[in-house]
Amino acid sequence: KAQERFNWRMTTTWPAGLPFFQTGPGSATDFARRVEEMSDGRIRIRVYSANELVPAFEGFDAASSGRQVQLNHGCAYYWAGKSFAAQYFTSVPFGMTFQGHNAWLNEGGGYELYREVYEPFDLIPLVVGCTGVQPMGWFRKPVESLADFRGLNIRMPGLAGDIYNAIGANARLLPGGELFAALERGAIDAAEWVGPYSDRELGLHRAAKYYYSSGWHEPATSTEVVVNRRAWESLPKDLQAIMRNAAAACNITSHAWLEARNADALDDLVNNHEVQFGPVPDDVIQALLEATRDILSDRASNDELTRKVHESYFKFKARHDRWQANSETMFQTQIRDLGQKILG
Amino acid sequence: MPLEYIALMMVAAFFVLVLTGIPVAFAVAAVGFIFGFIGFEGWLFELLPSRIFGTITNYTLLAIPLFVFMGVMLDKTRVAERMLEVIGHASGALPGGMALAVILVGVLMGAATGIVGAAIVTLTLMALPTLLRRGYKPTVACGTICAAGTLGQIIPPSLVLLVLADTMNLSVGSLFAAALIPGLLLATLYVLYLFVLAWFYAADVPALDAAERAAMSTRQLIRDLFTSVLPPLALVLAVLGSIIGGIAAPTEAAAVGAVGAMVVAAVMGRLSRPILSETLKVTVRITAMVFFVLIASQVFALAFRGLDGEFLVEAMFNWVPGGPYGTLLFMLLLIFLLGFFLEWIQITYIVVPLFMPFLAGYPEFSTVWIAILIAMNLQTSFLTPPFGWSLIFMKGVAPRGIKTTDIYKGAVPFVIIQVAALGLLVAFPQIALWLPEAIGW
Amino acid sequence: MSRLLLRIERALNQVTRLAGGVAAVSMAALVLLVFINMAARYALGIGTVWSQELEWYVLSLTVMTGIAYAMRADEHVRVDVFSHHLSRVGKLWLDGITMLVVAIPVSLLVLYYTWPFVQIAYVRGEGSPNAGGMPWLFLPKAMILLGFALILIESLRQLLRIGRRLVFHYRHPRRHNAGSAGHAA
Ligand code: NA
Ligand code: NA
């Protein structure tokens, strides 16, 4: 029994070769490789990129039925149409960053709720990656005030799209392949993708020059692997532990990898590609915050489970914010700035 | 038996079944199901509805019915037909002039409709009897019409480019921009060929006789050019301009084209309720059949994956010598050969995705360039006897006196020209890449 | 018996004719919808997520009702290099066999695999993943069921018609050229 072997299929929501998500440290293929190595080949996971086996957003259902596909790699907010609460496990607009988000998941009851939300789908979630804070996005024209958002065509999927609509913009849906072209040609005025490294790979700096920060809409985008429940339960305890530990390792590895790449990429974009990088005016943030508050509280009251997740998240956030204000935030402002002056 | 062998047998069975003459959509689905059940007891087919759903709700493919509507509308209102008459007269004094007019109209119809079937049928019904009456050699007349009618496949907007953009995850706009010059290059090569023919074999392509030319005054001709050629031309420029110029997304521009075609027809006094209803019906039929083949191909594609067919392709590519260019030429050759039997939809939807991982391994190749090479190659497959679609369409509507061999023989010089154009594209990628780069795509 | 079959054939004929009508109307709606969405955004600066998503709801309806109608008009993409040498009766046999052993099983299989797919979307009340998007995601999914049910119906109709013609042909061998044999087609 201990030597039973598992040959599994994992679909993903990503095109083949997409760094961070599909290839490279902490990605979907890296997760499969780690699991195979740690289990000495007892679990083999064949990874399929989007459209190879099923279209990008159909892998969740495939893993849910679990007979052909046992796992899917993606982001929880893609499943908001199936269960609105899923949104919270990827990232929450104006929510917590990497540290707080992971602290909530691991120690603040987040993981338990995550499992509860996916229970009807017969899926077990594992957090496997984090992009860190994403930028707000690329704009063809400078943003000087809230008025600049009126009628602005912006490529923004999910909840953030609704929030932009609430402040007067038009959220557009576009396939990934059209993103660069649409922005470059002006069919849309603004777009967001992942972060400096991934955005540069897509060439967005050649399409627009105003790059705004910081990503209020996705402060800590987490990626997930969902495992079919029956497949999960068929695993002996040691292999379950291997899966969990491979996920935890990918989570930290992917974040570390992208943090390093983003630092280089941002320097390159600003120094070599005439990209204007900076914050948006306060009145924009103010309006976005108010819209987020209204929309989130409205949607959270829609169903019981979302309300529960919402309350858990924001209760944890309030507590964690107080600690972070006196640790991370203080360090990043007062201590770091002084430190840079003296230590260089 | 290893699964890969079953995959190989599946491909062979598909060719056989298609040749019996049963509808391609049913053949591709049936073969997929049968070999899926033999190879893996069919369990993978549970994923089939997801794939079908992905096809019928695809944003890029949404442009297909809109472009088809635009083309059918211009065809049914006889706007395209009128274009041919006027241009034919305008180029009448030249030996081979009428053939040149056919090429020119092929370019215009290609840009306006892009529906090969409609273009071939219209050109054959309109131009073939005229060409024959004026003493054109039947093979030359047939070949010219087939080649001209097929230009719509490469000249944007085109369904092939739309489906390629979807499968290769490229922007429709950049593919359209990249295909424009190669398409025009091809048309130019056709024209050069006709000039050469007129020079050496003037009797094969006689000029319009003086009496017929005298029947229409120059003033009348100029007026006709303005009223019959200019409106559709303006529509084409508006649609292509707004896609390539980036004013609108391709699907939106297609909607403008569809509505614009109605406006052009109305302005020319040809829009009526029966014509609108007929246009809708024909559009539905063409669109539904393209999608039916796409949907049915999902069964085959899923079975091919389930039978580890991708390892077969991998083994094949590893075996090919010659590095990146060896791989590229091998792929082009394979598509050319498949083009004898398969239709562009299957090639772009099943075959191309299997090749992509290998070509993605060569960053020195631009994906846009590869896409245009594939499109140009598919263009050829329309004209290769015995199964080229253009030839089959033409045979369906040609006058009784025309033999199948006339059509086959006539197509051969144009197939050679196409292969030459493909060679030029391989040697000089800038033919495709210059325009998109110059306008900053 | 043959009376009953003829009546069934006529009823099925009505169904695919209706499907063709629905497809044509929904095709017109599709053109207008995409055009209006575009015009509204460029001219008036307004656009909603649901109206963009509605575009592919309508596309799925157009396509899936259109296939049976296109089959009816025999718009099939096919390679008839060999089959066009067949006699009229030979062609009838080929088409009849295609319907019986290919078209009908294929549509039954697709229906079988699609049923749970639609059912799950319906039971879970799935909607758009985009906020402000369309509800009832099961609707475009159910179009696959509708489409293949119509393909099945059209295949049955063609099978009945072909069967009737073949019976007529073998009963009245001298009149086999009478194309009017298929008076109900
Ligand atoms: Na993002
Ligand atoms: Na075209």
Q: Flag whether B173 is in a domain.
A: yes
The sheet with strand A6-12 has its strands ordered as A43-48, A6-12, A71-74, A222-228, A123-130
Q: Is B273 on the interface with C (CB under 8 A)?
A: no
CA distance to B110, B393, C13, per residue, from B278 (Å): 21, 20, 20
Distance (Å, whole) CA A287 – CA A149: 11
Sign of CA pseudo-dihedral B363, B364, B368, B371: negative
Identify which of C41, C46, C137 has the shortest CB distance to residue A81: C137
Query: Measured between beta carbons, which residues in chain A are less than 8 angstroms from residue B436?
Result: none
Q: Is the pLDDT of residue A156 over 60?
A: yes
Q: Is C75 on the interface with B (CB under 8 A)?
A: yes
Q: Specify the DSSP class assigned to residue A23.
A: B
Distance (Å, whole) CA B134 – CA B281: 36
Q: What is the pLDDT of residues B156-214, one digit of tens each?
A: 888 888 888 888 878 888 888 999 999 999 999 999 998 898 888 777 777 766 666 66
Q: Is A65 on the interface with B (CB under 8 A)?
A: yes
User: Which residues of chain C from 26 to 45 reach within 8 Å of chain A, CB to CB?
Assistant: 41, 45
Per-residue pLDDT, averaged over C71-84, amounts to 72
Q: Is the pLDDT of residue A129 over 80?
A: yes
Paired tokens of B163:
């489906």
Among A134, A145, A141, CA closest to A281: A145
Weakest mean pLDDT among A149-153, A309-313, B31-35 = A149-153
Q: Is the pLDDT of residue B42 over 70?
A: yes
Query: Measured between beta carbons, which residues in chain A are less than 8 angstroms from residue C133?
Result: 81
- The answer to whether B33 and B338 are in contact (CB under 8 A) is no
Identify which of A61, A65, A171 has the shortest CB distance to residue C49: A171
Query: Measured between beta carbons, which residues in chain C are less than 8 angstroms from residue B16?
Result: none
Q: Flag whether B44 is in a domain.
A: no
Paired tokens of C55:
């575009």
Number of Cβ within a 10 Å radius of residue A208: 23
SS3 per residue for A38-49: HCCCCEEEEEEC
Number of Cβ within a 10 Å radius of residue B409: 17
Q: Is the pLDDT of residue A299 over 50?
A: yes
Weakest mean pLDDT among A275-289, B42-56, B392-406 = B392-406
The closest ligand to the CA of B179 turns out to be 2
Paired tokens of A78:
């893609």
Q: Is B441 on the interface with A (CB under 8 A)?
A: yes
CA–centroid distance, A33 to ligand 1, in Å, is 26
DSSP-derived pairing of the beta strands A6-12 and A71-74: parallel
Q: Is A80 on the interface with C (CB under 8 A)?
A: yes
Distance from CA of C126 to the nearest CA of A (A): 5
Q: Which has the higher per-residue pLDDT, B294 or C28?
A: C28
Q: How confident is the model at residue C185 (pLDDT cuts 50, 70, 90)?
A: very low
Name all chains with 3 or more CB-CB pairs below 8 Å to chain A: B, C
A68:B249 CB<8 A: no
Name all chains with 3 or more CB-CB pairs below 8 Å to chain B: A, C
Identify which of B50, B171, B305 has the shortest CB distance to residue A52: B305
Q: Flag whether B25 is in a domain.
A: no
Which uninterrupted H or E stretch holds A227? strand A222-228
Distance (Å, whole) CA B387 – CA C172: 36
Distance from CA of B364 to the nearest CA of A (A): 16
Q: Is the pLDDT of residue A1 over 60?
A: no
Average pLDDT of the residues of chain A: 91
Name, of A282-286, B315-319, B348-352, the range with top average pLDDT: A282-286
Distance from CA of C60 to the nearest CA of A (A): 16
Q: Which has the higher per-residue pLDDT, C49 or A309?
A: A309
Paired tokens of A162:
């609704």
Chain B residue with minimal CA distance to C31? Answer: B255
Q: Which residue has the tokens 């489409």?
A: C147
Give ipTM to 2 decimals.
0.87
Among B399, B392, B393, CA closest to B126: B399
A9 φ/ψ angles, rounded to the nearest 5 degrees:
-115, 140
Q: Which has the higher per-residue pLDDT, A261 or A183?
A: A261
B151: buried, middle or exposed (CB in 10 Å: 19+, 13-18, 0-12)? buried
Q: How confident is the model at residue B381 (pLDDT cuts 50, 70, 90)?
A: confident
Q: Is B67 on the interface with C (CB under 8 A)?
A: no
A58:B246 CB<8 A: no
Q: Is the pLDDT of residue A221 over 50?
A: yes
Per-residue pLDDT, averaged over A2-18, amounts to 87
Q: Is B340 on the interface with C (CB under 8 A)?
A: no
Distance (Å, whole) CA A183 – CA A177: 11
Among B410, B426, B87, CA closest to B232: B87
Identify which of A15, A51, A67 has the shortest CB distance to residue B43: A67
B60:A185 CB<8 A: no
Q: Is B16 on the interface with C (CB under 8 A)?
A: no
Average pLDDT of the residues of chain B: 84
CA–centroid distance, C38 to ligand 1, in Å, is 25
Q: What is the CA radius of gyration of chain A?
A: 20
CA distance to A321, B80, C48, per residue, from C52 (Å): 39, 32, 7
Q: What is the pLDDT of residues B107-144, one digit of tens each?
A: 888 887 666 777 787 788 878 887 888 888 899 999 99
- The answer to whether A214 and A136 are in contact (CB under 8 A) is yes
Q: Is the pLDDT of residue B343 over 80?
A: no
Which uninterrupted H or E stretch holds A12? strand A6-12
CA–centroid distance, C109 to ligand 2, in Å, is 36
Among B259, B191, B203, B232, CA closest to B86: B232
Number of Cβ within a 10 Å radius of residue C4: 8
- The answer to whether A171 and A156 are in contact (CB under 8 A) is yes
Q: How confident is the model at residue A57 (pLDDT cuts 50, 70, 90)?
A: confident
Q: Flag whether B4 is in a domain.
A: no
Q: In sequence order, which ranges of B20-115 are alpha helices (DSSP H)?
A: 24-40, 48-56, 63-76, 79-90, 97-112
Distance (Å, whole) CA A153 – CA B70: 27
Distance from CA of B63 to the nearest CA of C (A): 10
What's the pLDDT at B362?
78
Paired tokens of B202:
């003037």
User: Which residues of chain A from 12 to 51 reach within 8 Å of chain B, CB to CB?
Assistant: 15-17, 51
What's the pLDDT at C174?
66
Distance from CA of B19 to the nearest CA of C (A): 6
The full DSSP string for B28-41 is HHHHHHHHHHHHHT
- pTM score of the predicted model: 0.86
Distance from CA of C137 to the nearest CA of A (A): 9
Query: Measured between beta carbons, which residues in chain A are less than 8 angstroms from residue B305?
Result: 52-53
CA–centroid distance, B188 to ligand 1, in Å, is 46
Split into its structural domains, chain B has a count of: 1
CA–centroid distance, B113 to ligand 2, in Å, is 6
CA–centroid distance, B15 to ligand 1, in Å, is 45
Q: Which has the higher per-residue pLDDT, B335 or A309?
A: A309
A165:C49 CB<8 A: yes
Q: Is C45 left (phi over 0), alpha (psi -120 to 50) or beta?
A: left
Quick check: helix, strand or coil at residue A237? Answer: helix
Q: Flag whether B367 is in a domain.
A: yes
Structural domain boundaries enclosing B77 = 59-438
Q: What is the pLDDT of residues A66-79, one digit of tens each?
A: 988 999 999 998 89
Weakest mean pLDDT among A71-80, B160-169, B382-391, C57-66 = B382-391
Among A134, A310, A321, CA closest to A221: A134
CA distance to A16, B13, B165, B257, B312, per residue, from B353 (Å): 11, 21, 11, 30, 14
- The answer to whether B115 and B70 are in contact (CB under 8 A) is no
Quick check: helix, strand or coil at residue C176? Answer: coil
Q: Is the pLDDT of residue A189 over 70?
A: yes
What's the pLDDT at B93?
67
A161:C132 CB<8 A: yes
Distance (Å, whole) CA B425 – CA A156: 38
DSSP-derived pairing of the beta strands A210-213 and A153-155: unpaired
What's the pLDDT at C159?
95
The closest ligand to the CA of B109 turns out to be 2
CA distance to A266, B212, B436, C106, C160, per residue, from C8 (Å): 70, 58, 57, 22, 9
- The answer to whether A36 and A49 are in contact (CB under 8 A) is no
C129:A79 CB<8 A: yes
Among B115, B120, B124, B382, CA closest to B257: B115
Q: Flag whether B5 is in a domain.
A: no
Paired tokens of C155:
């295949």
Identify which of A17, A52, A177 has the shortest CB distance to residue B171: A177
Number of Cβ within a 10 Å radius of residue A237: 7
CA–centroid distance, B164 to ligand 1, in Å, is 26
Query: Measured between beta carbons, which residues in chain A are less than 8 angstroms from residue B170?
Result: 177
The closest ligand to the CA of A176 turns out to be 1
What's the pLDDT at B237?
84
Q: Flag whether B41 is in a domain.
A: no
Q: Which has the higher per-residue pLDDT, B58 or A283?
A: A283
Q: Is the pLDDT of residue B64 over 80?
A: yes
Query: Measured between beta carbons, which residues in chain C are less than 8 angstroms from residue A173?
Result: 49, 52-53, 130
Distance (Å, whole) CA B82 – CA B225: 10
Chain A residue with minimal CA distance to B248? Answer: A187
CA–centroid distance, B110 to ligand 2, in Å, is 4
Where do the structural domains in chain C lie, given as residue ranges? 1-77+86-171
A326: buried, middle or exposed (CB in 10 Å: 19+, 13-18, 0-12)? exposed
Distance (Å, whole) CA A54 – CA A60: 10
Q: What is the pLDDT of residues B212-222, one digit of tens each?
A: 666 667 788 78
Distance (Å, whole) CA B48 – CA C114: 8
Per-residue pLDDT, averaged over B80-105, amounts to 78
Q: Flag whether B66 is in a domain.
A: yes
Q: In sequence order, which ranges of chain A are alpha helices (DSSP H)?
A: 28-38, 59-65, 87-90, 98-107, 110-118, 158-166, 176-185, 196-202, 204-207, 229-233, 237-272, 282-300, 304-325, 328-330, 336-343
Q: Is C117 on the interface with B (CB under 8 A)?
A: yes
Q: Is B241 on the interface with A (CB under 8 A)?
A: no
Distance (Å, whole) CA A59 – CA A73: 8
Q: How confident is the model at residue C182 (pLDDT cuts 50, 70, 90)?
A: very low
Q: What is the pLDDT of residues A114-127, one digit of tens each?
A: 999 999 999 999 99
Task: List residues bridging with A130 in a β-sheet.
Answer: A222
Amino acid identity of B120?
A: I
